Amino acid sequence: MKITIDIDDSLLSDAMKLTGERKKGPAVVKAASEFVKREMAKKFGHMLREGEFGDYPLTNDEIEALDR
């Protein structure tokens, strides 16, 4: 999907450096993707700590394999 957004030049420059992307679009996509992954991981961790899953059927190794 294409969108038009206003991003501070300094912030966009930092995003390009941190993501290693040379173009603006891919840098924004990569930064947004990483943000979403981290937030979802936080939410999942919170749900595990709160016991929302009962006995989770996967081992830690199986969970890490899914993330790859």
pLDDT: which is higher, 4 or 49: 4
Whether residue 60 has pLDDT greater than 80: no
The residue extents of the domains of the chain are 24-67
Q: How far apart, in whole angstroms, are the C-alpha atoms of residue 26 and residue 21?
A: 6
Distances from the Cα of 34 to the Cα of 3, 15, 19, 54, angstroms: 19, 11, 10, 28
Predicted local confidence at residue 62, as pLDDT = 81
3-state SS record for 10-32: HHHHHHHHHHCCCCHHHHHHHHH
Over the stretch 14-45, which tens digit does the pLDDT of each residue have?
A: 999 999 999 999 999 999 999 999 999 999 88
CB neighbours of 21 closer than 8 A, spacing ≥ 6? 15, 27, 30
pTM of the model: 0.68
